[in-house]
Amino acid sequence: MILPLDRAVAELVRDGDTVAMEGFTHLIPVEAGHEVIRQGRRDLTLVRMTPDIVYDRMIGAGCARRLVFSWGGNPGVGSLHRFRDAVVNGWPRPLELEEHSHAGMANRYAAGAAGLPFAVLRGYAGTDLVGRTPTIKPITCPFTGEELAAVPALNPDVAIVHAQRADRSGNVQMWGITGVQKEAVLAADRALVTVEEVVDELEPVPGQVVLPSRVVSAVSPVPGGARPSYAHGYYVRDNDAYRAWDAVGRDRDRFTAWLRDEVFGAAGGPRTPDRAPGEDREEQTA
């Protein structure tokens, strides 16, 4: 149940899988993404509401064949250049897109978590997403006759999220902005949770979401594993690192060098606390 990150990724993430790494700005499983890159996974369908820099890196590293998403930007900064390069130029390989809105994606996860084949929402009407995205279909209310939008459930092969804590039985506790992580984990066949720490007892915290161990396949202790995103109560969002990513991601060579130094350079499993990922920021922005 509690496994080092490299073993957990090796066991749970397979070539060709549909992988959902969630975390809405907060608690993004960045280090787990780096481990997937290190292990050279290919042909993944990456699912995520806000691809963010973790998917920018995975796409740039060639892990992904397809992206299911709703907003692919660098929050507060601008574009994701590796994502753009893959979509516009097919580098390092073409990237198929399946685009939804946030509301659609959130409801797709919720349907997946609930064992339903689809979800219903007031959404998409009049937008060009309707024609472009085959996973949006009309549905009529059997009581009022209103037409609404239906979207199919998302049921990833594996969900990966980051949380503040787990206990030794693998019960997971997160708090602060918890996004759609609960739904992503419940919707997936397998779930990997990286955590800041493993503790004896999960002291209740206001706003907490607890994922019972029976829906968690593996917990990996990865302190700092969300950096440059943040872990409420542990460290703050490294906004400078997000800004600095713009220049790195913009240039193929610079990105490739970054990948070599910062991801493969740290090979051999997850980084240890004495060399937390956040400490690389200075090099990264240099």
Partner 1 sequence: MTATASPLSPSPSTADADEVMTVTAARALADGSSCFVGIGLPSTAANLARRTHAPDLWMVYESGTLGASPDTLPLSIGDGELAETADSVVPVTEVFNYWLQAGRIDTGFLGAAQIDRFGNINTTAIGDYDAPAVRLPGAGGAPEIAASCGRVIVIVRQSPRTFVERVDFTTSVGHGGGPGDRERLGLRGAGPVRVITDLGVLEPDPATRELVLTSVHPGVTAEQAREATGWDLAVAPDLATTPAPEPHELAVLRSLTGRG
Binding site for its own copies (CB under 8 A): 115-122, 135, 137-139, 141-144, 146, 148, 150, 152, 204-208
Buried b (16+ CB within 10 A) or exposed e, 127-138: eebeeebebbee
Is 275 one of the binding residues for partner 1 (CB under 8 A)? Answer: no
Strands (DSSP E) along the chain, which ranges?
18-21, 44-48, 64-69, 73-74, 78-79, 96-99, 118-121, 137-140, 147-152, 158-167, 172-174, 190-199, 209-211, 218-221
To its own copies, the closest distance from the beta carbon of 129 in angstroms equals 16
Is 176 one of the binding residues for partner 1 (CB under 8 A)? Answer: yes
How far is 134 from 132, CA to CA, in rounded Å?
Answer: 6
To partner 1, the closest distance from the beta carbon of 124 in angstroms equals 6
β-strand 172-174 against 158-167: which pairing, if any? antiparallel
What is the crossing angle of helices 30-38 and 52-60, to 10°? Answer: 10
Residue 80 or 163: which CB sits closer to its own copies?
A: 163
Applying CB under 8 A, among 21, 53, 113, 188 the residue interacting with partner 1 is: 113
Which one of partner 1, its own copies, none is in contact with 230 (Cβ closer than 5 to 8 A by kind)? partner 1
Which residues of the chain form contacts with partner 1 (CB under 8 A)? 24-26, 49-50, 69-73, 75-77, 79-80, 83-84, 87-88, 99-103, 106-107, 109-110, 113-116, 121-129, 132, 146-148, 171, 176-180, 182-183, 186, 207, 210-212, 214-215, 230, 232, 236-237, 239, 242
